[in-house]
Structure 1
């Protein structure tokens, strides 16, 4: 491959539409493989343990992907959020609070719905937690592929809601499903994060930057992981602590330079590999038959497909009417409702919680199948509505241009 061809490929991967298509293709491929004679080899590879046991890093390939590799994606998300909070559309406190209230509603309503439906079912005590999360990568990919003409504020709102959603889900995992948290490891990680922030504040950069920052970031990841909390939260924290404002004479601040380097790798490799590992759910006739009779499956599907959009919209509406938050410029309530629809794409984190919430394989299988079906339904409904909204905005832009 020539240098120019390589640069062109990298530039394509910086386009969210291309990255989204690659990721969705990987997810479809995983689902196909998991339902063919190759499924045994597929699950065997994902279950293979790799890493030093002495450091408690003897993780399966699947865990390395979800805890380690995906941290790169969450780091990029943290960088984007920091930019929006400091110099972007969320720099207003009230606008920044809107996705927080939306995400809170988007967790509370699905949890209540799922709890009310599954309450009393055998082994379903923790089924309420499964529809809490929004899959950031999949939701943003659907938005990028289908709705290119929507205002940038829609994407920022979705990204912010999804991040808060997933942080809430991680907190649930840490408090409900984690048997023990090492506060010593958390304390060390916090000290290292303070050191990272101080180096950013002191403008430490130059030739030795990578030699210091990369080991420091890996150490933060390790101690958060060792604490028992999902390690991707370390990546979000590092992204949020990275400087986004440029100094006089500085061509680009660190956040912009790092995102420019890392984002193509995240879109073109990290997220597709994650989809390839997470979407491979083996579907059986029995699991499919139970989807519309098992209270757990019904609770999960109703929670994601209906609870999420209702919760996101109510959280947003109540907070704005109470003057605790404000709508972003150029967005209306139809845009908020549209985001709520694709927030029902629970997928990866919901699949993770499904594995933790149930003790028997039968419940895990039907819960995962319900997550997949609900995420697919939310994707289709959300895509149709977003496409309609995108065309409307394109038509408005044409009319404005013609005037």
Structure 2
């Protein structure tokens, strides 16, 4: 196995998925399946680097780097070694892969990245991978976009993707069948009849794949696909969608387009309706009620993408404006009102666009005061309702941070 080489290196398509390229790589080198290719490669890797060989995936369905959690660095090393197995220039395996990203979405939803674009992991299809027959008739490969739940219509041909074989009715997944252009039954998928796609589905596909779109509202003028993905996920969160249910997510994404096309009007209505509903079922006084009782995850989820520039976060800017109006329209009085609802350290940090550490410093220095008594030597839990909304909004308005970076700094670190 020491002289193992992959003599033929097919040229990758720019938008091709890693799994698709691995199948074409095996075929170009006259290897019948990915399973045979991966078995040979794993055996060779074990001789070269035991850790990397142990992390190399045998199944195509779990081949991509993001599937490796604890051993992702070893898998990257394994693919790096595999890239050298050609006489020509190196293979593009790492460039085509999806990897874990530290840029979490909406306060805790895991992100994957490829080519500088981040996508929520929950937006990746889990089983069926639909195809565009017209694309397959031109070039037999699978674009990465076909793996995304939001991509249901081909943006090039304007037709619906098909998810079942027209001949046998089986759900399509090249990850399981290891066949790109045909079904297990042998049917040539490029011959399947196509149906014109709805314009909304085409536009949704463009939002997550094309930098330039004709979409109205903030998603149209935001060229960052990562930010659009974050905004789509945010709508799912505030709509209490089960992100593990693909059909529920897809239906929510279509509704999200109407939501952002009329931005910020529907958003303001939702917030107003949420506060009114909370008022009807309020049990404790406002000054003892967490704001999440009224608006759920609207506030912590408005971070959108960890590390994004403040001026790009149109959701948080609008949300802050709405909360500021609540405080101004409900002046301080003897009886608690909406302006006195409680924020956690997590929520205060989001609203002040800073870190949890900064919130603790502001608390210790007296710029923020806890709504209740804190025991000596006790550290407040990040998720415990601690600060009045009014106080946090007033601090944001009156105290300018010492810098204008991604994360605001109010006090020097100790």
Which band: TM-score by shorter chain? under 0.3
After TM superposition, the score normalised by the length of structure 2 is 0.20
After TM superposition, the score normalised by the length of structure 1 is 0.20
Specify which structure has the higher proportion of helix.
1
Point out which structure has higher relative CO (alpha carbons under 8 A, 6+ apart).
Answer: 1
